[in-house]
Amino acid sequence: MLTSRVSKRLFSVLQQEMITAEIRGTVGIVTLSRPKALNALCDELFHQLNAQLQSFEKNDDIHSMVITGAGKAFAAGADIVEMSSQSFPQTMVNDMLGHWDSLKSLKKPVIAAVNGFALGGGCELAMMCDILIAGDKAKFGQPEIKLGVIPGMGGTQRLTKAVGKSRAMELVLTGDFFSAEEAVAMGLASRVVPNDQVLEEAVKVGEKIGAYSKPVVAIAKECVNQSQETSLKDGLLFERRAFHSCFALNDQKEGMGAFVEKRPANFTHC
């Protein structure tokens, strides 16, 4: 009987919702919701996040997505309590953090609305998004060095590509935090807005993107991401071929036709 009660209690904890989701117009919003843990990214939270983003990805009425956090944090890092007892063989066999990669498979734009602490895994999650908008109270950092480990989901790679080797090296090796204003100055974030307006600003950007052709937005996103993975020569060729492919779309005909006729375009996403 005791075993049964314990099992039911554990099942209840595992089933507890760690995110909330809503739709505003053409924008799907996911809010990380473990405020007592500053939205620490445990495995269950990330599985729920992935599942919700995939649901939004399959919903034709949603054109873009926003990720934000409840309370005082976007996400204050990975769940250290969950990680602390892991051994090297366990991390290898279970491919620790491997499920985080699924975020990069999304075709629709993902906007990070960073409203507070974005540290360690939280900073890495924000950097995985396509656009990063920071509230004026946001704090970023890769403090893993203080825990005897290194960033494990892009902190040494995406941060370096965004801000350059010297600055990234300093941030990774010292674990220092940096402000929203510094994030913009370094090129990590696109803008700073008042903290209580960061979600609304992200939704506005998502709605603006949603007015355009979905396949063209997906092609543009793929081209920008390709620039981070290839040489300039190869990237320019990739871009040109992608540009040519737009001429197979009805939306290209509509967009250019509307411009010539001086009227708003009516994109049909095909």
Whether 17 is catalytic is: no
Q: Which of 44, 124, 182, 201 is catalytic?
A: 124
- CA-to-CA separations, 175 to 37, 74, 151, 155, in angstroms, rounded: 20, 18, 10, 11
The residue behind tokens 């620039």 is: 227
Q: Is the dihedral of CA 259, 263, 264, 268 positive or negative?
A: negative
Alpha carbons 57 and 76: distance in angstroms, whole number: 26
Whether 144 is catalytic is: yes
Whether 121 is catalytic is: yes
Alpha carbons 192 and 146: distance in angstroms, whole number: 28
Whether 124 is catalytic is: yes
Q: Which of 70, 76, 78, 220 is catalytic?
A: 78
Q: Which of 44, 144, 182, 201 is catalytic?
A: 144
Q: Which of 71, 120, 121, 206 is catalytic?
A: 121
Catalytic residues: 78, 121, 124, 144
